[in-house]
A and B are shown apart, each in its own frame.
Chain A
């Protein structure tokens, strides 16, 4: 089964500073990868997904970007953080080889607070 690692676990950043969150996956190859954001007490908002190296689909126009430099690495970035970027960021990938419709494994998340 897959294991998803995310770091850092928590991050406090000032407004206007850059951001880089990393997600790596073990136990599978060429997985679909997803970045979600969860505001306090809310559900998950899909931000980006990738079906392969260098391929990124953006779901919500915003201050963030994503990249997939390697098969099992997914990075979420921002050049200048906004207060509204605060939240809990989760990386996910489907179970097994399947893409659409599969159950998803989630990483432990990164708690980002923008001050």
Chain B
């Protein structure tokens, strides 16, 4: 079953703007991960944040985690056309499996 739910479902921004998407989940987690999927391709891991971390950065990506609200956000700064993709959060509830949300589709307009 899908535990993570992304919001919004779709996002359209101008090149150079920031893109923010959110993920909510239902049960306690070990960590939360964000993935990117370009159209028709496999998923690529972007960043992992552990349950005892609140914020993490990787290049133009910033992820926050609020375990009290069971939510996470992914911020992409200074977006580029190449950032056009679907973004998924995935939660690990301390077993062998990840639960993926339905994703946010981001379109960056030139």
Contacts and interface: CB of A to CB of B under 8 A. Distances in A.
B81 interface: no
Interface in B74-110: 88, 92, 94-103, 105
- Tell me what chain A mostly uses at the interface: helix, strand, loop, or mixed: strand
Interface residues of B, number: 26
Contacts, number: 60
B20 to A, nearest CB: 19
B44 A100 contact: no
Nearest to B50: A101
Contacts of A44: 43, 88, 100
Given A44-B88, A90-B42, A100-B30, 12 more contacts: A4-B42, A32-B96, A36-B100, A44-B100, A49-B96, A59-B97, A90-B43, A100-B97, A101-B31, A103-B45, A106-B43, A108-B41
A88 B39 CA distance: 11
Contact of A105 (B33, B45, B97, B102): B45
A42 B45 CA distance: 18
